[in-house]
Structure formats: C-alpha cells, structure tokens
Amino acid sequence: MSNVAQEAARRRTFAIISHPDAGKTTLTEKMLLFGGAIQMAGSVKGRKAARHATSDWMALEKERGISVTSSVMQFPYEGRIVNLLDTPGHADFGEDTYRVLTAVDSALMVIDVAKGVEERTIKLMEVCRLRDTPIMTFINKLDREGKNPIDLLDEVESVLKIQCAPVTWPIGMGQRLKGVVHLITGEVHLYEAGKNFTRQDSTIFPSIDDPGVEAAIGAPMLAELREELELVEGASHSFDLDAYLRGVQTPVFFGSAVNNFGLQPLLDFFVEHAPSPQARATTSRDVSPTEGKLTGFVFKIQANMDPQHRDRVAFMRICSGKFAAGMKAFHVRSGKEQKLANALTFMASDRELAEDAWPGDVIGLHNHGTISIGDTFTEGEQLSFTGIPNFAPELFRRARLRDPLKLKQLQKGLAQLSEEGATQFFKPMMSNDLILGAVGMLQFDVVAYRLKDEYGVEATFEPVQVSTARWVRCDDPKKLEEFIDKNAVNLSHDASGALVYLAPTRVNLQLAEERSPAVTFMATREHA
Ligand code: G4P
C-alpha cells in the first residue's frame, strides 16, 4: 500500500450533531482527553492574540448564549488519526453547519437521555441524509433519570427514520446507574464516578456471567438485566456494518460524557468501523483518496483569530494525496498556482507529523481574500469538488451607513464577510444599494457587530422588498442578454459576481420563471 493509501485508511473525520445542551462540548473535551489532547483550531495562531481576539468576539456569543465560532481538532486513538470538526451550535448558522457536514466522512449524534430526539437534531439529521452520512449515536447523561432506553430507540427510529442497533446497553440509570453491557463483546463496564479515563482505570468484566458482576450490581438487578437483554435482543436490530455505512442504521451507545463513562466502547467501535475517507465527486470525475496527488476543497473560512490583521483562515479538507508544508498548489478557480506557506495543521501530540497532512485531514490556509468557500486546490488538474452549496437566503436587508464617507470600508467588510459565509451580499444592477441576505435573523446582528468591531463601520439594516433569491443560468448567450434587459431591475450580482434574481414576491418569481423558460433559476449555488 502506498503511504497515501495507508494514511488515508487510518483517518476518521467526523462531526458531532446534537441539540444545544445535549453534551457535545463535554463529549468533545472527553474525547480529546482520551486521545491525549491537542491544539484547537480556534487558538492555533499566536495564542495570546487569539485569546484576546476571541474574547471580544465571545462577548457577542455570551450575550446571546450561543457559540458561533468553530474549530478542528485532531487526535490519535488506537493507531488511527481522528479529526473532529466542530459544528457551530446555533440554529441560525445552518449554512455553516451544512458545509462542515460536507467535509466529514461520518457523524456522531448525541442525544440527551431525558429529552430524547430534539428539533435541531432532526434538522441536522436531514442534512446528513443528503449525503447518506453514516451516523453513530451516543445517548448521554445516563447519570440522570431519563426515558426508558427501549422507548428511546423507538423514538429515534420513528422520528429520525433510521434503524437502531444498540451496541452497549445501560445497567440502570440515574442514581441506580451501574454500568453498560457491550452487546457484541459481552463485556460489562462498571460505572464508577471519577474513573474510566483509561481502560486500565476501569472495571471491566468479560461477561455478565462473571461473578464480579453480581457482586457489583446485586442479584436482583442482574436478574432484571438478563430479562431486559432478552427483550432487547428480540426487539432490536443487531449491528450491520453495511447498513451503517449506507446510512440506514445507527449503532447506539449509552453513557455519561461528564463522567467519562461509556465513551471508551464508543471510541473503540468508532475507530474500528467508521469510514475512512471515501472517493468524492468533482465536476469531471470521482477522486479517490489514495491518489498520489493532492486535492482538497475549502468548506469554511474563519476570521477573528486576530482582528488586528484581519487574519482569515480557509479550512481545506484534503481529499487525496499528501500535503507537505510550503508546497505549491493550483487554485482552480483563479487558475493560479499558490504557495501553501504557513498552513496550519491541527495535529495533537504527534509533532513529527505536524508538517504533513493526508486525506481526511483539514489544514488551515492563510487567506488574504483570494480563497472562497467551495474552492478546490489540486496539483494542476482542472477539477472542482461538488456539493458545497450556498443557500438562497430567506431574509434580506439593505445596508445603511451612519457615516456616508465609510462606503469603501462597508463594501470591503461586506465582501469579506460574505466570502466567509457570514452573510450573502448582493449588488443590484440598477442601484447603488448593498443588499444582505441571510438564512437566519441572527446573521444580521453578527454582521453589524463585526462591521463595527473589525472594520470600524457603523451600519444599520433596513427592510427591503425582496422575498427570495435565485441564482440564474442560461447557456444561450442571446437569451441571457434578453433576460437581463427585461429583468435588470430585479437582477443583482453576488459577491463572487454570479447573477442573481432578487424576487420582490414569490408570485413575481413564478412569473419570471414562466416567462423565461430558457433560464434556470437555482435555489442553491454550488461554489464553482
Ligand atoms: P452542548 O455543547 O451540547 O451544548 O452541551 P454541553 O457539553 O455544554 O453540556 C450541557 C450541560 O450538560 C452542561 O451543564 C454539562 O455539564 C452537562 N452534561 C454533559 N454531559 C453530562 C452528563 O453525562 N451528565 C450530566 N448530568 N450532565 C452532563 P451546564 O450546567 O450547562 O454547564 P456546566 O456548568 O456543568 O459546565
């Protein structure tokens, strides 16, 4: 096997999907602990500056009780390299989350045992479905009273329309929590608060028939457990690797993140069965991770690491080949070769590897405005990864300046913020307005805050008569010209120069579509 194939095979790149408060952050921290801990992407560069920078930004997050920043964490576990891509927590950041989910190979769904399937989990699951992303499930907070585990699995199956295959099963819950049984290995892992940080530090019996189990949980509970396990065996699915990889079955684990309990069986199973990087579609062909030449796509741009320098980092997921520090790569959209100098890798303790990155890994490229979300890098081949969309915004505002002399800064700020995906930004063909589009209200607040904080521009946003946006395309240049002539008043360019129809009403959009059959109206724009 080539080096690339070997390194790709041991990568596990995933994200956690959950409703706020289910325990994503806690679980992330504990996983890092298991893996021997790391650097986090949010504070990779100039730790002091980063801390200062993030603290201002955090003010807004704190004020609103949300988390809008995101990060990449890498840690080794059992001979594998795990990449955990954090998804932003707030519902308004759906776009961003969506794009993070395009960069992973699998997901871990965290569910609060007391609350069951919550609304945000349902939405994220829908996103995972679009790509049939394989999903493992962790039912968290077992140290508290919650729903009956069998009912919970039923709930997951009926609400999320995915088969459940329990891999661990709880012994008691809340005050009575004694441990979990591993349904595949038969092992019993005892719950002992303050322990379980390592395998050595845990009490594990080879099976429920081990006398130690009865001694630990008592005969009545053991009898109860035996009955329950029989029931579970009859009523639930057993793990089917193929069904999991196709995204139709989810293996389920129980535990308590804050107590570090139940995580080890999850992690062990995860690194063994979760998919390594798979082939990915591009505009011209599928790219296999084992190919020798570097390819990758940018799924996220993050600023604010240091507002003094407007330092922006483009996060690129590597899809094939090897990245070596300082190498040159071909930026497909601009057609230019670019030196990938000072790229950030998010490797944990394994210092020697910090210079290289492989399929499944994410690297951070310093970006001075030339890189956009969706961009592909190769070693010269003309291809672009597909499936990283911009969504048609649902909410629109016109930007108004307090100080008209700051128009330049405003334009620059909006252009940069839209490049990051913080908002979308449109320039109408027939006016000098600057129109912002968002999929969630909160995005406008974030943009106003950042314009002031980072660009020194005070802007307000006022309502504007736009109800929806469609990217338009027409292969016939003559017809396109006609269309533009007739509809100029409703046409704009987005930040990348693409033509967009801003419809004042839904009815107007419908009419425009009917009148121009040669033109395609698209609700998402794939980053080209
Ligand atoms: P999130 O990122 O999904 O939003 O959740 P987060 O990890 O922040 O956890 C939300 C709350 O749930 C936290 O409590 C956290 O301590 C708690 N929690 C996480 N895992 C468990 C668990 O296994 N058992 C119990 N009982 N609680 C758990 P908090 O009070 O909001 O914050 P903190 O003051 O404890 O940090």
Confidence (pLDDT) at 202: 84
Residues 250, 226, 270, CA angle at the centre, nearest 5°?
25
**Ligand 1 pocket check for 18: Cβ under 6 Å:** yes
What's the gap in Å between 18 CA and the centre of ligand 1?
12
**Ligand 1 pocket check for 196: Cβ under 6 Å:** no
Q: Computed from CA positions of residues 6, 10, 13, 14, in that sequence, does the dihedral angle turn out positive or negative?
A: positive
Confidence (pLDDT) at 47: 34
DSSP assignment of 45-59: S-HHHHHHHHHHHHH
User: DSSP label at 23?
Assistant: S
Give me the half-sphere count of Cα atoms (radius 13 Å) on the Cβ side of residue 188: 23
Confidence (pLDDT) at 237: 94
Show the tokens assigned to 356. Answer: 């290289």
Over residues 19-77, the pLDDT tens digits come to 989 999 888 888 877 776 533 333 222 333 333 334 344 454 444 433 333 468 888 89
Binding site: residue ranges? 18-25, 86-90, 140-143
What's the gap in Å between 155 CA and the centre of ligand 1?
22
For residue 293, how many other CB atoms are within 10 A of its CB?
A: 14
What 216-219 contacts at long range (C-beta under 8 Å, 24+ apart), as own/partner pairs, is: 216/178, 216/179, 216/190, 217/171, 217/172, 217/178, 217/179
Whether the Cβ atoms of residue 460 and residue 436 lie closer than 8 Å to each other: no
Over residues 399-427, the pLDDT tens digits come to 999 888 889 999 989 988 887 777 889 99
pLDDT at 126 over 90: no
Confidence (pLDDT) at 527: 57
pLDDT at 510 over 80: yes
Binding site for GTP: residue ranges? 18-25, 86-90, 140-143
The single-letter code of the amino acid at 105 is: D
pLDDT (average), residues 146-152 = 96
**Ligand 1 pocket check for 28: Cβ under 6 Å:** no
CA-CA distance, 17 to 522, in Å (whole number)? 28
pLDDT at 330 over 70: yes
Which atom of ligand 1 lies at the shortest distance from residue 27's CA? 7
Residue of minimum CA distance from atom 32 in ligand 1: 21
Confidence (pLDDT) at 93: 52
Residues paired with residue 418 on neighbouring β-strands, in sequence order: none
Please give the model's pTM, rounded to 2 decimal places.
0.81
Residue of minimum CA distance from atom 29 in ligand 1: 21
SS3 390: strand
Averaged confidence pLDDT in the chain: 85
**Ligand 1 pocket check for 30: Cβ under 6 Å:** no
> In whole angstroms, how far apart are CA 57 and each of 52, 53, 63, 66, 147?
9, 7, 10, 11, 38
Give the 3-state DSSP-derived string for 461-493, with helices as H, strands as E and coil as C. Answer: EEECCCCEEEEEECCCHHHHHHHHHHHHHHEEE
What's the gap in Å between 510 CA and the centre of ligand 1?
47
pLDDT (average), residues 314-338 = 93
Nearest to 106 by CA among 79, 73, 77, 84: 84
Q: What is the dihedral of CA 202, 208, 214, 216, to 10 degrees?
A: 20
Q: Dmax of the chain from CA atoms?
A: 84
Nearest to 437 by CA among 367, 507, 523: 523
pLDDT at 112 over 90: yes
Confidence (pLDDT) at 36: 64
pLDDT band at 214 (very low <50, low <70, confident <90, very high): very high
Above pLDDT 70, what percent of the chain? 87
Please, which residues have CB within 8 angstroms of residue 28's CB and are 6 or more apart in sequence?
Answer: 16, 73, 84, 86
The single-letter code of the amino acid at 22 is: A
**Ligand 1 pocket check for 21: Cβ under 6 Å:** yes
Across 90-94, 141-145, 465-469, which has the greatest mean pLDDT? Answer: 141-145
CA-CA distance, 126 to 369, in Å (whole number)? 32
pLDDT band at 268 (very low <50, low <70, confident <90, very high): very high
**Ligand 1 pocket check for 22: Cβ under 6 Å:** yes
**Ligand 1 pocket check for 20: Cβ under 6 Å:** yes
Q: Which residue has the higher pLDDT, 199 or 373?
A: 373
